[in-house]
Amino acid sequence: MDTNQHLMIDFETLGVNFNAPIIQIGACYFNPQTGRVGPEFERGVDLDSSLKEGFSPDASTIRWWMNQTDIARGSVFNNSLNTVGVREAIGDLTSFMEGALSVWSHATADAVWLTNHQRVLGIPPSVHFTQYKDIRTLTYLAGVNSADFAPVGEAHVALDDCKFQISYCIEAIRVLNKEER
């Protein structure tokens, strides 16, 4: 297994439907045996640009964001990241993904949002759909519960969520491989 080409992605959005606007992107390469994190990618996405492209927020998610921490809300709504238009953000992420052997995420959410954004924006994907791996299935099969792990950084800050997801996925891989700690 090539240990330098696994990528974890996470998005913060303003909806849960397939056409929800992505408002923050986090991604980082990692070693699935050690959990060592490699190159990182982080972008804030301008909401106005997403709305102009036809992406649709939902009220329940906006209400949900209102109940998150000041740090999480600030990271997505106060432009604390280098915020760019949705087309530039998705194009940059697609380029960053080139060469990834596997793209790990919540495959029923993040992978769907990304592939829909690429389709709507006319940005050709840089990885094949078979390269997407689902962390929910991985942890279910290993009997690993993410709630048993210490948070990494701030919840609902996309890059911090990537690193947190890596921490419990590494344990799930270890369990499935029947490795000793």
Tally of CB atoms within 10 A around 79: 11
Closest CA to 144 of 116, 122, 170: 170
Q: Compute the half-sphere exposure of residue 123: CA atoms within 13 Å on the CB side of its CA.
A: 20
Query: Residue 45's CB: how many other CB atoms inside 10 A?
Result: 30
Backbone angles phi, psi at 49, to 5 degrees: -65, -35
At 70 the pLDDT is 92
Count CA atoms within 13 Å of residue 173 on its CB side. Answer: 17
CATH number at residue 31: 3.30.420.10
Q: What integer pLDDT is reported at residue 87 of this predicted model?
A: 98
Number of domains present in the structure of the chain: 1
CB count in 10 Å sphere of residue 37: 17
Per-residue model confidence (pLDDT) at position 15: 96
- With respect to residue 181, please indicate whether it lies within any of the assigned structural domains: no
pLDDT at 106: 93
pTM of the model: 0.93
Q: φ and ψ at 102, to 5 degrees?
A: -135, 145
pLDDT at 180: 63
Q: Is the dihedral of CA 108, 114, 120, 124 positive or negative?
A: negative
Positions of E strands within 46-167: 83-84, 102-105, 132-134
165, 104 Cβ separation under 8 angstroms: yes
Going residue by residue through the chain (181 aa), what tens digit of pLDDT does each one get? 445 689 999 999 999 999 999 999 999 999 998 889 999 999 999 999 999 999 999 999 999 999 999 999 988 888 656 799 999 999 999 999 999 999 999 989 999 999 999 999 999 999 999 999 999 999 999 999 999 999 899 999 999 999 999 999 999 999 999 876 5
Is residue 160 one of the residues assigned to a domain?
yes
Q: What is the DSSP letter of 94?
A: H
Across 31-175, the runs of DSSP E, i.e. the strands, are 37-45, 83-84, 102-105, 132-134
Query: 156: which DSSP letter?
Result: T
| Distance of alpha carbon 12 from alpha carbon 158, whole angstroms | 6
pLDDT of 1 reads 43
What is the identity of the amino acid at 130? T
User: In which domain, by residue range, is 69 found?
Assistant: 6-176
Evaluate whether residue 1 is within a structural domain: no
